């Protein structure tokens, strides 16, 4: 009980799905918070068992909407502050000391952390990947909710500030993981564009989307300065745009067939 009382008044909130390879190291670093909540999205591996080992409270969700799941986590938090982390994000002693400092100062409602994105084993400093500020720490009562199915944003009352020390993001650890994430996100982005009535997909539009993304990442945002991985990632982001356009094209074709069959 004394150990729990010495912890910071923070609820750590984590989304997880089949994260047995990453969640343990994520949970190990949270021994300074009073509450850990893991929202599991139908994991078929040892994710839940590992989370229980670290005394995490478990929520379950069939929803693939990131914002809805983050809001569900928020509603279950009991502490004054909430700290969102992904299973592939890592914090260190400097982060913890900085968190303690800003909590004691209590001058802002939300804090953005710079994030080092490790892609295929390399920290990418260019191509739009750094400093990649992400909102992670909030006064619970000031966080009014998350919005957006992908690239979700937080609605906050009060002032926001930026942390100095970065967190580590162990994303894109292999090509297979990159592809699986892209499939998931590209489908959602295509659905959003379809719902927004984006114009009909064409070969020219698809090539243009991929080319502009590559130019933006590799040239304008200097991805070339990250060497081979910078080139690979810039090409891959262009291909991601192609995936979005193909999924959008499928939706448009399906809708046209349905209209013609009426």
> Residue 151's pLDDT is what?
79
Yes or no: say if 13 and 85 are a contact pair by the CB < 8 Å rule: yes
The structure tokens listed for 23 are: 């969640």
Chunked in runs of 10, what are the mean pLDDT values of the chain (262 residues)? Answer: 74 96 96 97 96 96 91 97 98 97 96 97 97 97 91 92 98 92 94 94 97 98 98 97 97 86 66
Distance CA 137, CA 167 (A): 12
Please, which residues have CB within 8 angstroms of residue 116's CB and are 6 or more apart in sequence? 123, 130, 166, 167, 168, 169
The structure tokens listed for 63 are: 């929803």
> What are the distances in angstroms from CA 198 to CA 107, 147, 226?
42, 21, 34
> Residue 5's pLDDT is what?
67
The single-letter DSSP state of residue 21 is T
> Residue 2's pLDDT is what?
43
**Do β-strands 122-123 and 57-60 pair in parallel, antiparallel, or remain unpaired?**
unpaired
Tally of CB atoms within 10 A around 55:
10
**Do β-strands 160-162 and 110-113 pair in parallel, antiparallel, or remain unpaired?**
parallel
Tally of CB atoms within 10 A around 78:
12
> What are the distances in angstroms from CA 233 to CA 87, 88, 176, 218, 244?
22, 19, 14, 9, 17
Q: Lay out the sheet containing 89-90: strands in order across.
A: 89-90, 167-169, 115-119, 122-123
- Name which of 119, 141, 139 is nearest 129 in CA terms: 119
Yes or no: say if 71 and 8 are a contact pair by the CB < 8 Å rule: no
């Amino acid at each position: 009980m004394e150990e729990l009382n010495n912890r910071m008044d923070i609820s750590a909130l984590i989304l997880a799905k089949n994260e047995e390879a990453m969640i343990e190291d994520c949970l190990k670093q949270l021994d300074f918070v009073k509450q850990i909540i893991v929202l599991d999205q139908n994991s078929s591996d040892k994710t839940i068992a590992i989370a229980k080992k670290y005394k995490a409270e478990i929520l379950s969700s069939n929803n693939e909407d990131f914002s809805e799941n983050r809001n569900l986590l928020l509603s279950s938090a009991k502490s004054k502050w909430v700290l969102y982390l992904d299973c592939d994000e890592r914090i260190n002693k400097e982060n913890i000391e900085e968190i303690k400092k800003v909590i004691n100062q209590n001058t802002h409602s939300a804090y953005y952390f710079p994030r080092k994105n490790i892609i295929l084993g390399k920290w990418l400093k260019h191509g739009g990947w750094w400093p990649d500020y992400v909102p992670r720490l909030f006064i619970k009562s000031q966080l009014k909710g998350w919005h957006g199915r992908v690239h979700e944003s937080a609605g906050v009352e009060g002032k926001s500030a930026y942390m100095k020390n970065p967190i580590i993001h162990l994303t894109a650890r292999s090509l297979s993981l990159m592809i699986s994430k892209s499939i998931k996100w590209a489908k959602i982005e295509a659905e959003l564009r379809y719902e927004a009535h984006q114009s009909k997909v064409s070969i020219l539009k698809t090539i243009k989307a991929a080319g502009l993304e590559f130019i933006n990442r590799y040239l304008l945002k200097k991805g070339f300065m990250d060497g081979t991985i910078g080139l690979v990632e810039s090409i891959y982001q262009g291909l991601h745009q192609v995936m979005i356009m193909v999924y959008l094209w499928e939706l448009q074709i399906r809708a046209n067939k349905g209209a013609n069959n009426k």
